[in-house]
Amino acid sequence: MEDLSEQKPAPTTAWLWQALTGVGLIVLLALHMMTQHFIAEGGIRDFAGVADYLRNPIVVLLELLFLVTVTAHALLGVRSILFDLGLSARAETTVSRALLVVGILTVAYGMWLTWTITQQI
Amino acid sequence: MTLEVALKVFRYKAGQPARYDTFRVRVPHTASVLDAIEAAWAQHDRSLTFRHACHHASCGSCAMRIDGREKLPCITPVRDVWRGRGDLRIEPLRNFPIVSDLVVDVSGFFQRMSTSGMVITRTAESYLPVAAGAADGRPRDARSVTLPEGVARVNRFENCIECGICISACPTMAASDKFMGPAALAGIYRARLEAPDEAESTRLLGFADGEHGVWRCHSGWECTEACPQGVDPAGAIMLLRRDLVKHRIRKLFGR
Amino acid sequence: MATQLQSSRLRRTAQWADVRRRGMGMWAYTLNRVTGIGLLVYLYLHLVVLSMLAGGPDMWDPFVNLARSPLFLALDVILIAGWLIHGLNGIRVTLTGLGFGTRSQKSLFVGLMLIAGIGTVVMGIMVFGS
C-alpha cells in the first residue's frame, strides 16, 4: 500500500500517537497520583520518602515511562496548536524537529534528576 | 400584520473603514431576514451589497451571520431570530475575505471544493433506504427512492449547497488559510462513496490526509451544528479518519 | 481586485477561544485546549520544582511543608479538575475522532463533564483529608 502522505511524521501517525499516549496516561497518571499523593504519607514525600520510593527499579521504570508518555502527549499537543496556524511545509518540519529536541531534553533531565537523587542516598 | 425591525448591518467598501449601519424596515410578520435586508436596500441604501438568488435554500448564495450565528437568511424568519427589541445584527460570514458589505470572496472555497472532483451543484436527495418489500424496486412511498443495485443507502452529504456556512463556523478555518475545511472534506467522503475503483478511492483518501486535511479538525462540531442542510461534515471527517487509521494500521502490518 | 477586508491574524488565531453563541462541541474543544495548555505549563513548572530534589533534604523538605499548605492543596484540586476534564474529554475526542458515537457526542460531553465534576469533589476531599 502506498504512502498517502509524504510528510514525516505522517499526520495520521501523529494523531494516533496523541490518542495512544492519551489513553496510556489514564493509567500512568492514575498510578502516579496514587503513589505520589494518596499513598504517600501526608500527601507528599519528603526527601527521605522520595529516595526510599526510588529504591525500587520498577518504580523508576514506571515513573520514567510516565514522563516519556506525558512529554510526548504534551508536545504533540503543542505541535497541533502550532500547526493550526497554517505554517509552510518547511516551518512544520522545523517545529516538529524543535519539539522533538525539547522532548528528548525533558526526558534526559528526568533521568538525570532520578540518578542524582539516588546518588544522594 | 407587519413588524418593524431595526437591522444593524455590517458595511465595508474598499478604501473605507468598516462600520455598522442601522436600518429600520417594516415587513410582513412572516418575512424572512432576507426580505428585511432587501427592504433595507430598496428603501434606505441602494449601495448595500449582498448575494441572493433562489430564496429557498438550494443555491447557498445568501449565507451570512445573523445575530452572530451562521444562517441562510432566505429561510430564517425574522420572528425566529428577533424578539421585538433591540437591533438584529447582520454580518458577513467569518473566515472569508470581505469584498463589499455582506459579500465575501468565495474563490478559495470553491478551489478547495473542486479537490473532490465532484460536480459542484446537486439537488438534495433523500437518503432513505429502498422500501422493504418493494420487490420490483419501485418506491413504496413518495419518500423512498430507488437506489442502484447493491446500494442499501446513500448518505446525505449530497445535500451540500456550497453555502460556506460550515467554513464560517469552523474555528480552524479561522486560524489557517490552508485547512481544507469541512465542506471540501465532506465532499471527499461523498466522492469516495462513488469512486469507480479502489485506486481512485485511495487517491481521494490521500487528499483528506495531510497536515491540512482531516487532522486539523479538532472536533468543534460547529460545522455540523450550523449546516442548514444537515450534511454533517464533522461526521464525514470522523469517518475519513477511521479509514485513514485503518489504512495506517494495515500498512504497519504490511498489508 | 478592490481591497478586501479580513480580520487581523491575531483575531483569527484566537477564534477557537471564543465560545459565545457556540455549541457544546466548541465548549469541549476550547476546554480541552485551555486545560491542555494549563497542564503543559504545570508539567514544566513541576519538573523545574523537582530540581530542588537535587539539592538534597535541605532544599526539598522546606518545600514539602509549603506544599502542604491550604493554598497549595487548593491549587492541587484545580489541577485535578484540569486533568479530569482533559482526560475524560480526550477519551471522547478519540472515540468520536474515529467515527464512534458521533451522534451522541453532545450527551457524551455532558456526561463526562459531570463525572469530572464529581471526581474533582471526591479527590478534593481526599486531598484535604490526607
Question: Strand, coil or helix: what is B17?
Answer: coil
* Distance of alpha carbon B232 from alpha carbon C105, whole angstroms: 13
Region A89-103: mean pLDDT is 94
Within-domain flag for A4: no
Question: Looking at the 3D structure of chain A, how many domains does it have?
Answer: 1
What's the confidence (pLDDT) of residue A48?
86
Burial of residue C71 (number of CB atoms within 10 Å: 0-12, 13-18, 19+)? exposed
Locate cell 490521500: which residue?
B206
Question: Do the chains contact at B221 and C21, CB–CB below 8 Å?
Answer: no
* Alpha carbons within 13 A on the beta-carbon side of B226: 33
- Nearby residues of A71 by Cβ (< 8 Å), 6 or more positions away: A103, A106, A107, C43
Across the A:B interface, residue pairs with CB atoms under 8 Å apart total 56
Q: What is the pTM of this model?
A: 0.85
* Distance of alpha carbon B36 from alpha carbon B41, whole angstroms: 9
User: b/e per residue, A44-76, with b = 16+ CB within 10 A?
Assistant: bbbbebbbebbeeeeebeebeebbbbbbbbbbb
pLDDT, tens digit (0-9, with 9 covering 90-100), for C87-102: 999 999 999 999 898 8
Best to test chain C binding among B13, B218, B247 (most C CBs inside 10 Å): B218
Region B123-147: mean pLDDT is 42
Locate cell 504534551: which residue?
A74
Locate cell 503513589: which residue?
A35
Q: Residue B72 above 90 pLDDT?
A: yes
* Distance of alpha carbon B108 from alpha carbon B243, whole angstroms: 27
CATH code where residue A38 lies: 1.20.1300.10
Question: Do the chains contact at B202 and A4, CB–CB below 8 Å?
Answer: yes
pLDDT, tens digit (0-9, with 9 covering 90-100), for C20-47: 888 889 999 999 999 999 999 999 999 9
Structural domain boundaries of chain C?
Answer: 22-129
What's the confidence (pLDDT) of residue C127?
84
Question: Do the chains contact at B222 and C23, CB–CB below 8 Å?
Answer: yes
Within-domain flag for A90: yes
C-alpha cell at A62: 514506571
Question: Strand, coil or helix: what is B5?
Answer: strand
What's the gap in Å between the CA of B136 and the closest CA on chain C?
34
What's the gap in Å between the CA of B165 and the closest CA on chain C?
14
What's the gap in Å between the CA of A4 and the closest CA on chain B?
5
What's the confidence (pLDDT) of residue B153?
54
Pick the more confident residue, B188 or B144.
Answer: B188
Q: Residue B11 above 70 pLDDT?
A: yes
What's the confidence (pLDDT) of residue B122?
37
**What CATH number labels C22-129?**
1.20.1300.10
pLDDT, tens digit (0-9, with 9 covering 90-100), for A68-78: 999 999 999 99
Distance, first Cα to last Cα, chain C: 68
Nearest to B205 by CA among B247, B144, B252, B142: B247
Question: Strand, coil or helix: what is B88?
Answer: strand
pLDDT band at B118 (very low <50, low <70, confident <90, very high): low
Pick the more confident residue, A15 or C1.
Answer: A15
* Distance of alpha carbon B154 from alpha carbon B157, whole angstroms: 9
For the complex shown, is ipTM > 0.85? yes
Locate cell 419501485: which residue?
B138
- Nearby residues of B150 by Cβ (< 8 Å), 6 or more positions away: none
What's the confidence (pLDDT) of residue A52?
85
Question: Do the chains contact at C94 and A22, CB–CB below 8 Å?
Answer: yes
* Distance of alpha carbon C70 from alpha carbon C75, whole angstroms: 9
What's the confidence (pLDDT) of residue A1?
43
* Distance of alpha carbon B97 from alpha carbon B105, whole angstroms: 5
Q: Which domain holds residue A79?
A: 11-119
Within-domain flag for A22: yes
Q: What domains appear along chain B, each with residue ranges and CATH number?
A: 2-104 (3.10.20.30), 107-122+160-252 (1.10.1060.10)
Range among B128-142, B187-201, C35-49 with highest mean pLDDT value: C35-49
Region B23-43: mean pLDDT is 96
Report residue A103: phi and psi, to 5°. Answer: -65, -45
* Distance of alpha carbon B244 from alpha carbon B236, whole angstroms: 12
Question: Strand, coil or helix: what is C120?
Answer: helix
pLDDT band at A4 (very low <50, low <70, confident <90, very high): low
Which chain B residues contact residue C23 at CB under 8 A? 221-222, 225
* Distance of alpha carbon A73 from alpha carbon B173, whole angstroms: 24
Q: A touches which chains (3+ CB pairs under 8 A)?
A: B, C
User: b/e per residue, B217-253, with b = 16+ CB within 10 A?
Assistant: bbbbbbbbbbbbbebbbbbbbbbbbebbbebbeebee
pLDDT, tens digit (0-9, with 9 covering 90-100), for A20-54: 999 999 999 999 988 887 777 777 888 888 888 88
Strands B19-28 and B2-11: antiparallel
What's the confidence (pLDDT) of residue B147?
58
What's the gap in Å between the CA of A10 and the closest CA on chain B?
7
pLDDT, tens digit (0-9, with 9 covering 90-100), for C100-124: 988 899 999 999 999 999 999 999 9
Within-domain flag for A3: no
Q: What is the mean pLDDT of chain B?
A: 84
